[in-house]
Amino acid sequence: MAKRFTKSAINWVEFEKQVPPEQKTKFLAFKAKADMYLRRVQANPPEPPKINWEEYQKTVPVKGLVDKFKTAYSAFQVPYPTDTLSETVDEQWKSLEPEIKEFCAERQKDIELAQKELNRIKALPKFEDMTMETFYDVYPDQALDPVKRPTFWPHTPEEQLGYITPEQKAMKKGSH
C-alpha cells in the first residue's frame, strides 16, 4: 500500500518568503488549493472498507459469483507511481549549482558597484545647495567652461559651431 500523507511536505512559511508581493494573491490561491486537496485526501479512510463476503454469499443466488468478486477485489492493487525522476533532478541540480554560484557572485559584484555609486551620489551636496562652481568641481567634463570650452546659448550640442548631425556622420562614414 502507498504511504499516506498526513501533512504537507512543503514548508509554506519559507515558500511565502520567496514570493514577490505582486504574486501574493496567486500564491495564496495556490496554497488554498493545496490545502483543500490535502483535506480531501485526509477525509477518506486510509484503508478501504471491509466487505462482509459471507453476507453476500447468503444473498446472491449465483454460485461462485461472490468468490470471483472476492478474489478480484483482493487481487486489485491501486498503482502508485514510483519516483524515477528525483535522481535525475538531483543530478541536474548538482550540475547547475556552480553556475548558480557564479551568477550570484557576478550579481554581488554588480550590487557592490551599485552600492559604491549610491554612496558617491549620497555624498554629493544637495541639488539646492550646489553652485555652478561646485558642479564644475564634481563634473568637470559636463559643466560649462567659458574659458576652455566656450559655448553658445542654449549650450546644447545642436547649437554649437561645427555640429554634425547623426545623419551627416553616417553619410561621412558611408563615403569612406
Residue type, 5: F
- Whole-number pLDDT of residue 16: 92
- Whole-number pLDDT of residue 2: 56
Q: How far is CA 173 from the centre of its chain?
A: 45
- Whole-number pLDDT of residue 45: 82
**Nearest to residue 162, comparing CAs of 173, 175, 149?**
149
**Nearest to residue 65, comparing CAs of 77, 73, 75?**
73
Q: What is the Cα–Cα distance from 130 to 55, expressed in whole angstroms?
A: 98
- Whole-number pLDDT of residue 3: 65
Q: What is the Cα–Cα distance from 31 to 25, expressed in whole angstroms?
A: 10
Extract the residue ranges of the chain whose pLDDT is less than 50: 1
Provide the grid cell at 90.
538531483
Tens of pLDDT, residues 45-71 = 877 788 888 888 889 888 889 899 999
Report pTM: 0.43
